[in-house]
Structure 1
């Protein structure tokens, strides 16, 4: 083999090694670029959510249906993110735009917002009063929940369930009620309290009520119908 053939072979081998090296490095560069722009979008959207909903929620962003190798076009200036509707947990549409060179890209993003919510630790029957042991706080994606979910268990002990619910149910305000302390037709004590004076008389409740409810009560002595506030079981007070 001549010297010329040897040199030609070495050049071809070197070129092959260079192409092989580039093919190995290019996907890494693309992946890093893709990760960078997705992280920028995620940080921007999560910050916007914190501005709306407060700092009490964790935010996670994904890009459903997007190719792993997808890249935004080059932009000489920082690109702009415009939401197609107000930001909310779940699926959102956004537009990323660039002024120089001018281009526009529409994308779908999935926003998961995680908060601690009140969850039943065991199954509870309708009308049963909740105890502290019945309730747990669990981290949950609130995007799939109704808007009146509960994030604290402090006020729940003593409440009654409106219907039977299974363990693991996320509690909302429409599922609970204050216990009824006075039934319609029940005999009650009517309290009239003034500075230095407290009088109680017998009466009949014309409405059912829970603590704090104002109900109609008939004074058994005068037969007058008055309004009174439910204080406790069998006791109402005239304001």
Structure 2
């Protein structure tokens, strides 16, 4: 006569119990994932309809869905959402509704992450250092995190001066750098006057230091008259 050990019966009972409880749990998880994915797709579709940004990749992360939350199967195919404000990179409040359940709605958060190549530092630099091409590289970053701006090419940055010490990997923004001083106080400069019908160059003296585009005070070397003009280059100032 064959016999079954008590140990085998216990193991069989445990296995059956695990299978029994795991099936509905797995179904619930699959249902939740489907709901999340549906909402994600809806948000991403509307975001892209606002205008694709060249060179970017957008990702939507849905937050705020209660753990273990269940939604009826018919709602997974009849969902709608309304953004609280116009969609933008970063966190967005949204209200999700379902056509077949008029009294049901759910407030969630849609985190829109927009990735693109931006200029970051390859090396540590110190305050006052001139930035060169060898200091720079491109790296994909979420521009929603770059609220103070960013650069997408090296050209506007090269030969600029760092306003403070910065670590390698920092995504540069316009507040971190400054144009180099190209005219020093007391320097001899050429004063350029452009008016309708004529143009005149005169010798002058810079009374203030300046970067390209700065307005500085200068003196006409011949007349001694004090004038104001815009720095064009290391030697030229365009008189207002």
* TM-score > 0.5 by shorter chain: yes
Aligned to 1:92: 92
CA contact (8 A) 2:208 2:216 kept: yes
Evaluate the alpha carbon distance shift between residue 107 and residue 189 of structure 1 in structure 2; reply closer, same or farther with a 3 A threshold: closer
Q: Deviations over 1:45-99 (max 9, x none)?
A: 2233334463343222334454564332344672210123333333332211123
Evaluate the alpha carbon distance shift between residue 95 and residue 180 of structure 1 in structure 2; reply closer, same or farther with a 3 A threshold: same
Q: Deviations over 1:107-166 (max 9, x none)?
A: 234333222221111112222221111111111123332232223323211211122212
Q: Does 1:142 align with 2:140?
A: no
Aligned to 1:45: 43
Question: What is the SS of the residue equivalent to 1:232?
Answer: coil
CA contact (8 A) 2:211 2:231 kept: yes
Evaluate the alpha carbon distance shift between residue 83 and residue 127 of structure 1 in structure 2; reply closer, same or farther with a 3 A threshold: same
Q: Matched residues in 2 for 1:209 and 1:215: separation?
A: 6
Aligned to 1:184: 185
Question: What is the SS of the residue equivalent to 1:123?
Answer: coil
Aligned to 1:127: 128
Aligned to 1:222: 223
Question: What is the SS of the residue equivalent to 2:93?
Answer: strand
Aligned to 2:9: none
Q: Matched residues in 1 for 2:123 and 2:64: separation?
A: 38
Q: Matched residues in 2 for 1:95 and 1:74: separation?
A: 19
Q: For the aligned residues, what is the CA RMSD?
A: 3.2
Aligned residues: 221
Deviates more, 1:86-95 or 1:37-46: 86-95
Gaps of 5+ in 1: 1-17
Aligned to 1:58: 57
Equivalent positions of 1:151-190 (< 5 A) are 151-190=152-191
Aligned to 1:5: none
Evaluate the alpha carbon distance shift between residue 110 and residue 162 of structure 1 in structure 2; reply closer, same or farther with a 3 A threshold: same
TM-score (normalised: structure 2): 0.75
